[in-house]
Amino acid sequence: MILVMHQEHSLSEMYLKFLLIRSMRTQADLVAQLFDSSERRLARILLLLAEFGEPGSPEPLIPPITQGTLAEMVGTTRSRVSFFMNRFRKLGLIEYNGRIRVNKSLLNVVLLDHFTEPNPERPPGSPTPRIRSKQARRGQGGTGVMP
């Protein structure tokens, strides 16, 4: 392989480009897993499967895939994926009857991070944890910035 890489410059250039793209994608996936909500990660995966942002015209229909597989890709449960998929469908971001059709509006939502409902990580009716600073717990008010 090394000999061919030295002899065929076009092959070595193509292979290096592939490795760089793959490395950047892996890094982006790690950052998304660490910092993005599961809803945003699901939206990102749906867009990647639909190949939005790739050269040429995107195919809005993604290959057949189960919610269980999507849950493994997102790093959450199948029930959460089902909740988010239903939410995306109600918002008109996707359509699905057997196969999922991704609408371009999902790309805008992911890029601008504008989901219409507050705190989408929690289903309706579930308690929302309160995060308060030490000063607020002591009744001192303040800016919440620790000294």
pLDDT at 91 over 80: yes
Domain segments of the chain as ranges:
1-35, 37-118
How far is the CA of 99 from the CAs of 54, 67, 94, 102, 138, in angstroms?
20, 11, 10, 10, 54
Cβ distance 70 to 64 under 8 Å? no
Q: Which pLDDT belongs to residue 62? A: 84
Give the mean pLDDT of the chain. 76
Taking each helix axis from N to C end, the angle separating 105-112 and 38-49, rounded to the nearest 10 degrees, works out to 140
Which of 66-70, 78-82, 109-113 has the weakest average pLDDT? 109-113
CATH of domain 37-118: 1.10.10.10
Cβ distance 129 to 140 under 8 Å? no
Q: Which pLDDT belongs to residue 107? A: 77
What share of the chain has pLDDT > 90, as a percent? 21
What does the pLDDT average to over 69-92? 92
pLDDT at 23 over 80: yes
Q: Which pLDDT belongs to residue 133? A: 44
Greater pLDDT, 128 or 39? 39
Q: CA 131 to CA 65: how far, in whole Å?
A: 37
Q: Indicate the pLDDT class of residue 125, thresholds 50, 70 and 90.
A: low
